[in-house]
Each structure stands twice: as structure tokens, then as C-alpha cells.
Structure 1
Amino acid sequence: MNTPQASEVWIRLQKELPQWVEESRAQCGEGKVASYIPELAKAPHRALGIQIMNGSGASIAAGDAAIPFTMQSISKVFTLLLALMDNGEAAVFDKVGMEPTGDNFNSMLKLELVQPGIPFNPLINAGAIVISSLIAGARMEEKSDRVLQFFRKLAANDFLEVNEAVYQSEAASADLNRSMAYFLKDNGVLKGKVDEVLDVYFRHCSINVTCADLARMALVLAFDGTDPITGERHIPRRYVQIAKTFMVTCGMYNASGEFAIEVGMPAKSGVAGGILTLVPGRYGIGVVGPALNPKGNSIAGVDLLETLSQRLDWSLF
């Protein structure tokens, strides 16, 4: 990438990022807060925040970066990584595919239409439910605790917790996810008890974070699995390559192609309004904006990332 020197970019971010946030905040009125999980409907409609962290641990925050929100589908990137570390590539991709679907994230259409009946990728709901079944652990509680501890390590935050209100709301409104899980179970793809697998899934989607947590987790991905602040390797480089490729091709639901063209950064969104993204070898970025566009992505958050990518030449392409 032909970019200005990092110090010049950092100075520009310190100066201009608050203004860019306010410009993008105007988009919030065009979006809608997720309501199919009732607890998510309580999120502040006009909130927009961002935190950017560099490899030395310095960070810049603007807007409503301090508000907590649940990871939702962003968590799928990291459960995929944990499943790969637990099982290896062959076992994981025997149960999920590697291709975008072009369908909504909660669609089960292709499970029956396209053989052999495995989810197209790990970042749609069906795929993430299968991935949740592959987390090592003798009991549901052990699996969920391993996920939480892994997330805490990557975020360098021992206080990450499951938002119980969102977890309960998600579990109570998950008929479609249950339908997918039972179909996968009947098809021989999902192993284990459906209710226990779904409980692991609901809990990791309901982990509370802030933009700072997402930025630190993204920083580990930006540096190929090593935390550049501590020097500790958390994830094998090969598995991070896999995860980042999925983020480019599938991370923004069925708007991933458009996002790749307009922004060109590996990213994963969630319906609570979060977006995790990164600039390889340089920055980890966390964004929150609960008002969503029709594809389920933060409408103001996407607009803000387009601004950053275009003005700072951050696209990989």
C-alpha cells in the first residue's frame, strides 16, 4: 500500500478522526437498531464510536467508543480460531465450507439445496453453530469457559463477561437457529446435544466488549496471531490467515463484496452494531454503531470505515 509514514497517519487521525465520526453519525437516521433479539433494541440509535490501536499499544478513540455492546457475530471469527487450534483444518472443514453464500446470515436455504449439506462457511449462523460444537470440552460449561478465557486473553481484559440479559433474550428468541441446529443434527453434521451446542453459541455471541477490546483483539490478527504489545503468540499464523480470508469474503454478511470494494480491509460485523477490522501489520480497529443497514451492518460504522480507507489509502487492493 502506498501510504504516508505511520507517524503522519497517526497525527492526522488525532486531528481529524473526531470530525469524521461526526460526519458519519448523520447516517444513523437511515438505519434501524436490531430488534429480532429484543434486548438489542435498547441500544442507543445515534451512537457511533471507534478506537484504533497501533503495535506499540497507543490508541486513539473518538465518539462513543466507551459504550459496551455484545460481540454477536464478531465472536464467530474467534471461535473459528479456537476450533482450528482444537481440531486442525481437516476436521473443521469436514464440517463447514469455505465459500460465501450470497444469502442472509441466518438463512438455511442452501443447507438442503446444496450437497453435502454442510454450512457454506463458519461466519453464517449455521456454520458458527457447527463451529461451537467443535470447541473442546467435556461439558457445555467447560466449552463456554474456554471461549471466554480465550477472548479475555486476546483482548487483554480479564473482566470480559457474558451479558446475561442479552444471552437470555437471544436464547428465548432463537427458533430459527434451533431449526438450523436440528437440521444439521439430523444431517449428521452437528455432533452433541443441540441445546448444549446452542447454549455455547448464544453465550459467545453475548460477550460484552467495548471498541477498545475489539481493537486489541484485531491487533493480534493484524500481527498474524502475535500480540505485538507483549510479544506473545496466541494463534498460529496459518489459522489467522484463514480467519482473515473469511473476513474479506464473508465477514460483512452478504455485503462483503461491496465492503471489499469500498473499504478493502478484513472485517467482521455483528448485529449489535460492532465492526472489528484491521490494517495488516499496523492497526487493530473497533467500531460501534447500533443503527444497522438492511444487510445487518452498522450503517454509520461502514460509512466511517469507507472514509478512513479512502482518505488514508488503507485498502488491501
Structure 2
Amino acid sequence: MSTRPGRTALSGLLGRLAEQLMIWVPLLLAAGHLVSFALWTLWVSFTPSTLIPMSGWVGLRNYTAVLASRNWQIAFNNLLLFGSVFVLLSLLIGLLLAILLDQRIRGENVLRSIFLYPLAVSFVVTGTVWSWLLNPGLGIEKLVHDLGWASFRFDWLIDRDMAIWTIVIAAVWQSSGFAMALFLAGLRSVDNELVKAAQIDGAGPFRLYARVILPTLWPITITVAVIQLQFAISTFDLVRALTNGGPGIATQLPALVVYDLMFQRSQLGRGAAAAVLMLLILLAVLLPYAVWQSIQRRRGGHA
């Protein structure tokens, strides 16, 4: 009889140990994988590696070559345009959809599922489908021509100046549902007493959202913007499936430059340098966000 409590305590200890192992072992392995490959990429970026990794030291030669290349300059300019417009549009559309669903309309569950559906589709599928829709010989332009409007043109996919906007359209379609879900959760968490007080003071729907509800969503807005920026910086498969960086190199993004240097031109050192530059761009977004989150937690703790 006296051994049962000891066995119970031992089994509980083993259970907790198993739980910790299941949590921490995969996390440590994943962290070790990421850190080791990041350090390896950093080392390769300072070497004269071409088809295979090579020892040696070339300093910043790979970085200066990448920064001076036309491909990287176009890719960086496209990233600035694509990232800013994509984030703004996805935030705006996601917020509008969230406000619509927040009205407790009929069929809310169906509409929410429809708006969230693109999020369940892979970026390769999204890019492929939109490449069909935007192809002048297959998609929207051909459909309108068949309906009798022969002068209609929608050839952005093959227009050097407009092709980048096709990526914006596809990315916004894919990601607006994600922004909507977070905004809707924020709207549903607003204090009802605060809303009732504003309504008693005579605030109409527009004023209620503009002055009372939306200001409480700033933390969610910043979080969604950072996540969307992270997606924009690392975008590869969507562009690869939709435009493949074309026409020419008109829709190049940094991830495509890395792929082109490493796997098509066999310039491993320069590709690694481009990857490190992508990482620096990403850190320029994530580090300020991490600092802001830390400040918010400290303020919450002191409050």
C-alpha cells in the first residue's frame, strides 16, 4: 500500500518529462536547423563559391556585385511597391470584410468560410489560377471579347509596366481573409459597455467605428501588417507560378534573385549574399516589432 503514492508520483514525473520532451526536442531541432543553415549561408556569402561551396575569402565582393546588379535593383524596387500596396490593400479589405461580418448578418458562417477559403489554397495554385485568368488568350480578356467587346484590353500579365500589379491582385486575394479573421476577432473582443456608452452619447455607426472601435485595433493592425510584410519579403512561389519574374525581369523579387543566382547561374556565393540581404530586410521589419511587443508587455505588466 505504501508504494502506490510513490508509483503515482513517478508516473506523473515521467508524464511531465515526456510532455517537455515532445515540446522542446522538436523546437530545439528546428532552431538548430535554422541557425546552422543561416550561419552556413553567411559563411558562403564571403567565399568565391560557384557551383559548389569553396573555401576562401572575398570580403564584400559578392554583396557589392549583387547590390550593383540590375536584377537586384529591379527586385528591390518591386519589393517596395509590392510590399507597400499589398499590405495596405490587404489591411483595408480585411478590415472592411471584418466590419461587414461584425454586423451579425445572415449567412455569416458561409461568408466567413468563403472569405477564408483562399487562405487554404497554396500559393502555387493561386499563382497558376490567376495566370489563367489574366492570360489575354485564355482568361478575362478572351471572355469579354467572346461577349462582343472586341476593343477591351486586360493584358497586364504581358505588360512590363503593369505585370507587378497582377502579383498584388493575387496576393491580396490570397491574404485578405487572414487579415479579416484577425480583425474580426478584435472587433468581437471590444468591450460592450464601451460601445453602449458611445451609442447612448448619440454616436452613429460611422462615428462609433471611427472614434471608439477602430482605435482599439491598433495592436492587431500592427501585427497583421508585420506578418503581411514578412510574406511580401519572402514571396517566391506565387511569383514563380504567376509570372516567373517576367515579362523579362519586370516582376523579379529578391527571392527569385536568390533562386536565379544559386540554381540557374551556379553563383552560390552571390546567391548566398542575396539571401543574407533578404534576411537583413526581414530583420528590419521583425526587430522593431519585437521591441514594440516587449514595450507593450512591460507596460501591461506595470499596469
* TM-score, normalization by structure 2: 0.29
**Which structure has more helix as a fraction of its residues?**
2
Q: Which has the larger radius of gyration?
A: 2
**Which structure has more strand as a fraction of its residues?**
1
* TM-score, normalization by structure 1: 0.28
